[in-house]
Structure 1
Amino acid sequence: MDPAIQKMIHGFRHFRKTYFSDSTELYSRLRHGQMPAALMIACCDSRVDPAHVTRSNPGEMFVIRNVANLVPPYHPDSTFHGVSSAIEYAVCVLEVKHIIVLGHSGCGGIHTLMSEEWHNHPSEFLTRWLTLAEPARHRVKERLGDRPEELQLRACEESSILLSMENLMTFPWIRERVEAGNLKIHGWYFNLHEGELYDYDSEKEEFLPLAGESDSL
């Protein structure tokens, strides 16, 4: 058997022992349904597992993952909308209290977006998907087009989070809940190099460290 698959099987055995033996109360509750407090919209990058990064237990987060943690604007029609349908379920059925858009450093999707290659060599699906983040790319090129590539990439990673937050507010049933104070939208940025998590402060219009060294464990 392939070592990677074998490792997953060993992992499941550990999971089964931990949650079905030691935490039987948790799964006794979860068998009857889920009541997550938050919806996490994250990148599908294998290095950034939302549950692992936040040390969340099963049932605590409803998670949507896609390339570059993007949210399309509200656009109901007859085509397929995987992200929007999952958002609708989390907000309208599960009634989550928080939506968190989690971006990260070294995002391959954003790197592709910022390169010229994606224009010259379009892919079957990825190129079209990344056009959702074109406004973020445009903002960065307009403001920081003469700055180093590394700075532009981080700026676009952060800008794409803000764009997803803006697009969330185009959903009428999200806007209604936010304005009523029943739902809050957060923008988080995980820096893989620093091991730091940042939260967007709308008043200061910048990402600020969310967890200090002195925080209790």
Structure 2
Amino acid sequence: MTDFDALIDGYRRFRGTGWSRERDRWSELAVGQSPKVMVIACSDSRVDPAQIFDARPGEMFVVRNVAALVPPMELGGCHHGVSAALEFAVTQLQVEEVIVMGHGFCGGCAAALTGQFDDAPHGAGHYIADWIQLLEPARDRVRQEHGGELDRKAFQAMEMEGVKVSLDNLRTVPWVSEREADGRLKLRGAFFAISDGILYLLDEESGRFSAA
């Protein structure tokens, strides 16, 4: 199990190898960033987008949160971390693609499907329950299709439906939908299967995921 001391050891290896190999690249990035792609992924420790896509520093603008969720367009005085990152990536960095990447064995999706944190008090899952309410449309579809059979097929369906929910929510944001409509921005859905290391891409016309 990696602890802080192991992380510092990793940093020292990075300084001695990875950073030195990419020294010119890091010098360029010190001036600014210009990624073409934004990835919205889960915070899960097993699904690092940079590793999955074998990306170099500066190539992706990444936001990670529980279950790779995007909230619908909301106005008000609350703190909107995902929305702020999305706004920065799309309107300031002017990324050309936004990828929502779900994954297998996602704890957030599982909790939403089973209702594990429903009515949880503060400190025992309240914030988790509030966040994964965004998955209600996906949960309702999966429960209707699978009934009480919450087997692996049902959980995977939930994980894939969650990607679709986030894509739908992205399109409620005017400066996202406008750019998608005029061709400046592409929205994509993806799903990474941890157990076999395969990335699946969503065909939105058919609603199906197929191996990349």
* One-letter code aligned to 2:36: A
What TM-score do the two structures reach when normalised by structure 1? 0.91
Partner of 1:112: 111
CA distance in 2, matches of 1:116, 1:163: 18
CA distance in 1, matches of 2:75, 2:33: 26
CA distance in 1, matches of 2:209, 2:63: 22
CA contact (8 A) 1:140 1:155 kept: yes
CA distance in 2, matches of 1:3, 1:137: 34
Partner of 1:143: 145
* One-letter code aligned to 2:144: E
CA contact (8 A) 2:39 2:62 kept: yes
Query: Residue deviations 1:2-48, cap 9 Å, x none?
Result: 96222211211122223442222101110100011111000000111
Indicate the larger mover: 17-26 or 151-160.
Answer: 17-26
Residue among 124, 127, 133 paired with 2:126: 124
CA distance in 1, matches of 2:79, 2:46: 28
1:53 is aligned to 2:49: no
CA contact (8 A) 1:19 1:27 kept: no
CA distance in 2, matches of 1:77, 1:102: 27
1:192 is aligned to 2:191: no
What TM-score do the two structures reach when normalised by structure 2? 0.94
CA distance in 1, matches of 2:51, 2:199: 13
Query: Residue deviations 1:84-137, cap 9 Å, x none?
Result: 001000000000011000100000011111114322535231110010111100
1:98 is aligned to 2:97: yes
Structure 2 gap segments, 5+ residues each: none
CA contact (8 A) 1:38 1:100 kept: yes
Secondary structure in 2 matching 1:63: strand
Query: Residue deviations 1:146-174, cap 9 Å, x none?
Result: 44521111101000000000100110000
CA contact (8 A) 1:145 1:152 kept: no
1:69 is aligned to 2:107: no
Where in structure 1 do 4 or more consecutive aligned residues deviate above 6 Å? none
Identity of aligned residues (%): 40
Aligned length: 209
1:25 is aligned to 2:24: yes
* One-letter code aligned to 1:133: L
Partner of 1:165: 167
In structure 2, relative to structure 1, the CA distance for the partners of 1:13 and 1:68 (3 Å cut) is same
1:84 is aligned to 2:83: yes
Secondary structure in 2 matching 1:117: coil
Q: What RMSD, in angstroms, separates the aligned Cα atoms of the two structures?
A: 1.5
Indicate the larger mover: 40-49 or 5-14.
Answer: 5-14
Secondary structure in 2 matching 1:187: strand
